[in-house]
Amino acid sequence: MSTSVEKMNYSSALERRFLCPGSAAIEAKYPYDDTQSPAAAEGTMLHECTCNVLNGLPMQPEELDPLTEDQIRDVQWCVDEMQEYADDPENTMITEYKLDLTEQDRLNKPRLDVGFINPSGKITIFELKFGFMYVKHPRWNWQCKDYACGAWLTFGGSEVEVVVLQPRALSEDQWRRGYTFCTEELQALDVEIRGVVEKACSPDAPIVPGNDQCYYCRAKEECPARKSVIETIPRHLTVKDSLESMEPIDRYRLLEKVISAQGWLKDYKKAIDGYMLDGGEVPGWTLGESKKKSKWRDDFETIAALREKAIEKGKDPDKLLQPQKPLGLTDTKKILGGGVAMKSLYNSLRETPAGEVMPVRVKGFIDAGN
């Protein structure tokens, strides 16, 4: 069942609407898949547990399996970060609160995780994230901006602070990040968000593929614009020689297209792999076991152990991270070195999972028609 385009402008889709205004109409044609991934289901459950504690209820609803130590630690950390706001007798606390913006012509209802409304005119919103993936800073995060603006339109006041709590973020400086929007910024946000929604709802909204917007788009498998990106990329690998002669902004656009095309090709390959895993035949290919490769067993545990070692050795621990995960073994060795003691540390952090069943080439196959 398709959804109205107006309703498609929910907070977590606003960045996509900003980058690809036409995505609202296209996505509206695809039914919403409410099957949650295990990670998303865990996140929903931990949100509920956190709000339970703030509301003076037992952390864990009886019907759930017992929480693990890590889950309890993460929930408690979030609660501790909010405790001083909850303890302030002047604050009114709201949890899992749906804002109604119909009077502002917004049909979706932004849902705040936790908020505190202070009679001084300050509102503080906490956005809880229980994943590892990098989350944009609230100053630049469209979801947070929508929450800030929606809360201000609903409750009034002079400023809104939005704080993202992400206890599993790989870098400690991302565990808690906040930004306070002043009245002028909130007024500007209101205009900006209305502009994005209006453009997304207009019949001639442009469709603009790009990595960020296509990644979570419901239409990404079928979207003709995403598919056609590949056709608009120059087909010669000597492109390096032409880069200097391009307008700088065209270099940016070209790179965005290449990244978007890479994503599309990856999905395409996944679809063919799925066909073969379901028994479909592709000559020259068969099902086999992928190479067994050792890898870090647990990114979080690895980063903690390697950072500790780096500090002990007087090295910069931040160099051991790429944006969301630890460096590979070879690069880690360049920083922390090898040797027997280090090898034993590396081995304790690594595992060699069984090879996956996947499509592999048949050696010696020749496509006679080519």
Cβ(127)–Cβ(138) below 8 Å: yes
Decide if residue 14 touches ligand SF4 (CB under 6 A): no
Q: Which of 9, 11, 16, 78 binds ligand SF4 (CB under 6 A)?
A: 16
Selected range binding ligand SF4 among 186-194, 217-225, 274-282, 296-304, rule: CB under 6 A: 217-225
- Least distance to ligand SF4 from the beta carbon of 140, Å? 19
Query: Least Å distance between CB 214 and ligand SF4?
Result: 3
Cβ-based nearer residue to ligand SF4, 18 or 130: 18
CB of 75 vs ligand SF4, minimal distance in Å: 34
Of 9, 11, 23, 332, the residue at the interface with ligand SF4 (CB under 6 A) is 23
Q: Write down the least CB distance from residue 205 to ligand SF4, Å.
A: 10
CA distance linking residue 10 with residue 146, whole number of Å: 9
| 214 near ligand SF4, judged by CB under 6 A | yes
Checking 254-260 for CB contacts under 8 A at 24+ apart, the result is: 256/210, 256/211, 257/209, 257/229, 257/232, 257/233, 258/233, 259/210, 259/211, 260/209, 260/210, 260/211, 260/214, 260/226, 260/229
Which residue's CB is nearer to ligand SF4, number 30 or number 285?
Answer: 30
Cα 370 to Cα 96, 280, 285, 332, 360, distances in angstroms: 60, 22, 16, 44, 20
Interface with ligand SF4, residue 17, by CB under 6 A: no
Residue selected from 138, 150, 209, 359 as contacting ligand SF4 according to rule CB under 6 A: 209
Residue at token pair 């606003």: 14
Q: Is residue 226 near ligand SF4 by the rule CB under 6 A? A: yes
Contact flag: residue 9 with ligand SF4 (CB under 6 A): no
Tell me if 302 contacts ligand SF4 by CB under 6 A: no
Position 261 contacts ligand SF4 (CB under 6 A): no
Question: In sequence order, what DSSP letters do the residues of 277-295 get, joined into one string?
Answer: HTT---TTEEEEEPPP--E
CA dist., res. 101 & res. 104, Å (int): 5
CB of 284 to ligand SF4, least distance (A): 31
Name the segment binding ligand SF4 (CB under 6 A); options: 15-23, 193-201, 314-322, 344-352.
Answer: 15-23
Name which position in 17, 129, 220, 309 contacts ligand SF4 (CB under 6 A): 220
Number of H helices, E strands in the chain: 13, 11
Integer Cα distance of 362 and 97 in angstroms: 56
Beta strand 325-326 with 159-165 is unpaired
The residue from 49, 51, 219, 336 that contacts ligand SF4 (CB under 6 A) is: 219
Q: How many CB atoms lie within 10 A of CB 81?
A: 16
Q: From CA 273, how far away is CA 287, in angstroms rounded?
A: 9
**Amino acid making up residue 138:** P
Instruction: Give the C-alpha distances (Å, rounded to integers) separating 361 from 172, 211, 271, 275, 287.
Output: 43, 29, 17, 15, 8
**20 near ligand SF4, rule: CB under 6 A:** yes
Measured distance CA(203)–CA(193) in Å, rounded = 18
Residue 112 vs 197, nearer CB to ligand SF4: 197
Nearest to 157 by CA among 126, 194, 185: 185
Of 154, 213, 302, 332, the one binding ligand SF4 (CB under 6 A) is 213
Closer to ligand SF4 by Cβ: residue 185 or 256? 256
Binding stretches for ligand SF4 (CB under 6 A)? 16, 20, 22-23, 26, 207, 209, 213-214, 217, 219-220, 223, 225-226
